[in-house]
């Protein structure tokens, strides 16, 4: 589903990243893709959109029973937001050595001051997720 | 103005942090305070709200001519968002040794992988900004 959201983002002219937020029963709470161009909002990454949608739906800014699945390693902004929403688990596809904030860069959940550290599983269907991004950027450069 | 926004946030039952976004002529583009409780959105920090409002108003996710003034040192999420919006300058009031992401914690703009580093001025009217927060949390603990 997150890969589908990434493909839909690409059709909208956005960087192809998609995210899904699931509850503890595996039910989908929110699903979306990147909308930074559409919304003129540099913070409108897929993760931020599903977190905010879930908060609105639930009437709560805390989502401890939830898991977020995203096609790309979250950037520092999204990694920090996932922690602020107290999401219990993060599953991501492609690693992002340049822009990632969990396994790369500031490695936010490993920082001593980290208030809340979600469980992290990286590299799930990595090839497909990375492939979408590679094809998108190769096309941009043509 | 940012201090006034922080006081208004407190009257709404929110952590008293306020932010103003100014253009290069010093004109106010957006002003707001923390609304995490009201919006059930852990990402609804004052900085995120003014950045998103300005993006919508301008029809652009890039605000390089702008300056953000905020009463508290931005957290990692907001520090990363400020950089993603390419805001040229950050002025903040109180330092935040526990939760800050610019001068403390991951010190995001000093990281080797930082794509865009805004100019930073910290400690402006620090006493007033910190005083609001201290009074708020002292009241919560009563």
Residues of chain B positioned with their CB less than 8 A from the CB of A40? 55-56, 58-61
Is B81 within 8 Å of A43 when comparing Cβ atoms? Answer: yes
pLDDT in tens, B20-50: 999 999 999 999 999 999 999 999 999 999 9
Is B40 within 8 Å of A56 when comparing Cβ atoms? Answer: yes
Please report which confidence band the pLDDT of residue B10 belongs to, taking 50, 70 and 90 as the band edges: very high
Kindly give the parts of chain A with pLDDT less than 50.
Answer: none
* Tokens of residue B83, six digits: 């950089």
Task: Check if the beta carbon of residue B85 is closer than 8 Å to that of residue B76.
Answer: no
Nearest 5°: CA angle at A57, between B79 and B40?
40
Residue B67 CA to its chain's centroid (Å): 11
Identity of the residue in A43, A81, A111 whose CB atom sits nearest the CB atom of B42:
A81
Please report which confidence band the pLDDT of residue B111 belongs to, taking 50, 70 and 90 as the band edges: confident
Contacts of B104 (CB under 8 A, 6+ apart): A113, B73, B95, B96, B97, B98
Q: Write the DSSP symbol of residue B142.
A: -
pLDDT in tens, A68-94: 999 999 999 999 999 999 999 999 999
CA nearest to A41 within chain B: B61
Best residue of B30, B55, B106 to probe chain A, by most A CBs closer than 10 Å: B106
Best residue of B77, B108, B113, B114 to probe chain A, by most A CBs closer than 10 Å: B77
Task: Check if the beta carbon of residue A97 is closer than 8 Å to that of residue A75.
Answer: no
Please report which confidence band the pLDDT of residue B13 belongs to, taking 50, 70 and 90 as the band edges: very high
Q: Across all residues in chain B, what is the average pLDDT?
A: 96
Q: Across all residues in chain A, what is the average pLDDT?
A: 96
What is the Cα–Cα distance from B72 to A105, expressed in whole angstroms? Answer: 24
The closest of B100, B108, B19 to B66, measured between CA atoms, is B19
* Tokens of residue B19, six digits: 């932010």
Helix segments in B1-142, DSSP class H: 2-11, 36-39, 46-58, 76-84, 126-141
Is B84 within 8 Å of A52 when comparing Cβ atoms? Answer: no
Is B61 within 8 Å of A115 when comparing Cβ atoms? Answer: no
Residues of chain B positioned with their CB less than 8 A from the CB of A55? 39-42
What's the whole-number mean pLDDT along residues B125-134? Answer: 97
Looking at residue A141, its pLDDT comes to 86
Residues of chain A positioned with their CB less than 8 A from the CB of B50? none
DSSP lists the bridge partners of residue A119 as A89
């Amino acid at each position: 589903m997150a890969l589908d959201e990434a493909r839909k983002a690409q059709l909208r002219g956005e960087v192809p990243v998609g995210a899904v937020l699931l509850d503890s029963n595996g039910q989908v709470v929110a699903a979306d893709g990147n909308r930074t161009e559409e919304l003129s909002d540099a913070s409108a990454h897929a993760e931020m959109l599903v977190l905010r949608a879930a908060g609105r739906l639930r009437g709560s800014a805390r989502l401890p029973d939830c898991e977020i699945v995203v096609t790309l390693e979250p950037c520092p902004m999204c990694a920090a937001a996932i922690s602020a929403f107290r999401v219990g688990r993060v599953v991501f596809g492609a690693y992002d050595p340049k822009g990632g904030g969990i396994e790369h860069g500031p490695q936010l959940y490993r920082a001593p001051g980290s208030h809340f550290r979600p469980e992290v599983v990286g590299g799930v269907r990595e090839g497909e997720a990375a492939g979408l991004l590679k094809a998108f950027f190769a096309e941009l450069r043509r």
